[in-house]
Amino acid sequence: MSLVENMVRQYDGFRLEIPRWEIPDQGITALCGPSGAGKTTVFRMLIGLEDCPGLKWSFQGEDLAQLPVPERRLGVVFQSLELFPHMTAEENILFAAEARRLSQDESRDRLQALAQDLRMSSYLKRKAAVLSGGEAQRVALARAVITRPLFLFLDEPFSSLDAELRSEARALVKRVIEKFQFPTLLITHDEEDLQAMANTVVRLKDGRLL
């Protein structure tokens, strides 16, 4: 288990308060709730984009909350994907590998495997700016997992896709997670995401876990 403690934040009349939360260290845990429940705040605190004094996140014998963000070894797929539009799909993925100081040979081997798993080979040389929504999402996932993260975060990963693409995207993402066995936190408000992907469901309402 991954143990989160003392997650408390007060701002603009809203209070997020999660004294203790056990997250499975395998499978996909979905954190769901309506807009304004605090899901994004939880996500940003865990990945280190928002400060939370007193927060503890115990995982595999370390308090990840006390580590600098680059040392937490987290993989993240943002809702907006955050690809570099002037880079190709391949360059976006390898950028993450270089940042984590993987060797060129290892980076290329992992890229080839991911391109096959995610069926990306036909557009690796295209600029991110011209990729379709489904293609861009696969690139963002590949970038997040090429470094073999300790923990994977998916923030509303299918919200920008039309209904026809969502089913295929869910299946692809779940298959990659199961292959590499990344413990994953899925942030979503979509009940279909829960049914298709989640091993564990945690509901958040008004800043508190139900």
- Looking at residue 75, its pLDDT comes to 94
Identify the CATH class of 1-73+150-210: alpha beta
d(CA 172, CA 45): 27
- Looking at residue 49, its pLDDT comes to 92
Given a cut of 70, the residues of the chain with pLDDT beneath it are none
pTM score, two decimals? 0.92
d(CA 79, CA 61): 30
- Looking at residue 70, its pLDDT comes to 86
CB 181 within 8 A of CB 26: yes
Give, as one character, the DSSP assignment of residue 178. Answer: H
CB 62 within 8 A of CB 119: no
Instruction: Look at the block and give the residue holding tokens 């979905």.
Output: 30
CB 23 within 8 A of CB 4: yes
Q: Taking the CA atoms of the chain, what radius of gyration do you get in angstroms?
A: 17
38 Rama class: left (phi>0) / alpha (psi -120 to 50) / beta:
left
- Looking at residue 184, its pLDDT comes to 97
* Token output for 89: 């799909």
- Looking at residue 199, its pLDDT comes to 96
Instruction: Look at the block and give the residue holding tokens 């489904």.
Output: 134
How far CA 163 is from CA of 157, 160, 196, 197, in Å, comes to 13, 9, 13, 16
Angle at 55 between CA 53 and CA 56, to 5 degrees: 145
Q: Give start-end residues of each CATH 3.40.50.300 domain in the chain.
A: 1-73+150-210
